[in-house]
Structure 1
Amino acid sequence: MIDWLSWKWFTLSQLRQFSWESPYYLYGIPALLLLFGLRSLLQNRSKQRLGVAFSRGKLKPSLITSLRHLPGICLVIGMTLILMALARPQIVREQTENISEGIDVILALDISSSMNETDLKPNRLAAAKRVAQLFVRSRPDDRMGLVIFAGEAFSLCPLTTDHDLLNSYLTDLDDSMIKTSGTAIGSALAVCINRMRESASKSKVVILLSDGDNTAGNLDPIIVARLAKAFNIRIYTIAVGRPEIPRLGALASAVTIDEGILTTIAGIGGGTFFRATDARRLQTVFREIDRLEKAPVKTKTYKDIKDYYRVYLYWAIVFLLLILLLKSTIFGNILED
Structure 2
Amino acid sequence: MSPWYSLRWFGQAQWQQFQLAHPLVLWLIPVVLFLFLLRFYLHRKAQQRLNMSLGQHIIPRSQGRAGRVQTTRSLLTLGRYLLPLSSFIGIACLLVALARPQIIREQRDEQSEGIDIMLAIDVSVSMSETDLPPTRLAAARRVAQAFVNTRKNDRIGLVVFAGEAFSLCPLTTDYGLVKQYLADLNDRMIRTSGTAIGDALARCINRMRGRAGSPADTVRQDSDKWKMERSKIIILLSDGDNTAGNLDPITAARLAKAFNIKLYTIAVGRPNRSSSKATTVDEGVLKTIATIGNGSFFRATDAGRLRDVFAQISQLEKSPIRVQIYEDVQDYYRVYIYWGITFLLISLFLKNTIFGNVLED
Q: Could you state the TM-score of these two structures normalised by the residue count of structure 2?
A: 0.79
Distance 1:65 1:283 in 2: 82
Instruction: Give the aligned residue type for 1:142.
Output: D
Which of 293, 307, 311 is residue 335 of structure 2 equivalent to?
A: 311
Question: What residue number does 1:149 align with?
Answer: 161
How far the C-alpha of 1:146 sits from its partner, in A, is 1.0
Rate the CA distance shift 1:168–1:45 in 2: closer, same or farther, 3 A.
Answer: same
How far the C-alpha of 1:66 sits from its partner, in A, is 4.5
Question: What residue number does 2:255 align with?
Answer: 227
Instruction: Give the aligned residue type for 1:193.
Output: I
* Residues 66-112 of structure 1: CA deviation (Å, up to 9, x unaligned): 44444333211211111222222222334556655532211100112
Question: What residue number does 2:237 align with?
Answer: 209
Deviates more, 1:308-317 or 1:285-294: 285-294
The 5 A counterparts of 1:85-234 are 85-95=97-107, 100-199=112-211, 201-234=229-262
Instruction: Give the aligned residue type for 1:307.
Output: D
Residue segments in structure 2 that go unaligned for 5+ positions in a row:
55-67, 212-227
How far the C-alpha of 1:2 sits from its partner, in A, is 6.8
Deviates more, 1:104-113 or 1:21-30: 21-30
Aligned residue for 2:16, secondary structure, equals: helix
* Residues 280-304 of structure 1: CA deviation (Å, up to 9, x unaligned): 4333332332333234555555443
Q: Does 1:266 align with 2:294?
A: no
Distance 1:154 1:333 in 2: 100
Instruction: Give the aligned residue type for 2:246.
Output: N
Residue segments in structure 1 that go unaligned for 5+ positions in a row:
none
Q: In the alignment, is the contact (CA less than 8 A) between 1:2 and 1:311 conserved in 2?
A: no
Rate the CA distance shift 1:64–1:263 in 2: closer, same or farther, 3 A.
Answer: closer
Distance 1:222 1:235 in 2: 12
Question: What residue number does 1:38 align with?
Answer: 38
Rate the CA distance shift 1:309–1:52 in 2: closer, same or farther, 3 A.
Answer: farther
Distance 1:160 1:77 in 2: 65
The 5 A counterparts of 1:324-335 are 324-329=348-353, 331-332=355-356
Q: In the alignment, is the contact (CA less than 8 A) between 1:65 and 1:335 conserved in 2?
A: no
Aligned residue for 1:45, secondary structure, equals: coil
* Residues 113-161 of structure 1: CA deviation (Å, up to 9, x unaligned): 2222223222221121122222222333432221111222222122223
Rate the CA distance shift 1:154–1:322 in 2: closer, same or farther, 3 A.
Answer: same
Rate the CA distance shift 1:288–1:323 in 2: closer, same or farther, 3 A.
Answer: closer
Instruction: Give the aligned residue type for 1:272.
Output: S
* Residues 148-177 of structure 1: CA deviation (Å, up to 9, x unaligned): 112222221222233232122111111222
Deviates more, 1:156-165 or 1:255-264: 255-264
How far the C-alpha of 1:312 sits from its partner, in A, is 0.9
Q: Does 1:22 align with 2:19?
A: no
Question: What residue number does 1:290 align with?
Answer: 314
How far the C-alpha of 1:330 sits from its partner, in A, is 5.3
Aligned residue for 1:320, secondary structure, equals: helix
How many pairs align?
331
Q: Could you state the TM-score of these two structures normalised by the residue count of structure 1?
A: 0.84
How far the C-alpha of 1:229 sits from its partner, in A, is 0.8
| Aligned CA-pair RMSD | 3.3
Rate the CA distance shift 1:202–1:52 in 2: closer, same or farther, 3 A.
Answer: farther
Rate the CA distance shift 1:10–1:263 in 2: closer, same or farther, 3 A.
Answer: closer
Aligned residue for 1:109, secondary structure, equals: strand
Distance 1:281 1:74 in 2: 73
* Residues 150-205 of structure 1: CA deviation (Å, up to 9, x unaligned): 22222212222332321221111112222232222122111111111124753111
Instruction: Give the aligned residue type for 1:234.
Output: K
Instruction: Give the aligned residue type for 1:39.
Output: R
Distance 2:188 2:11 in 1: 74
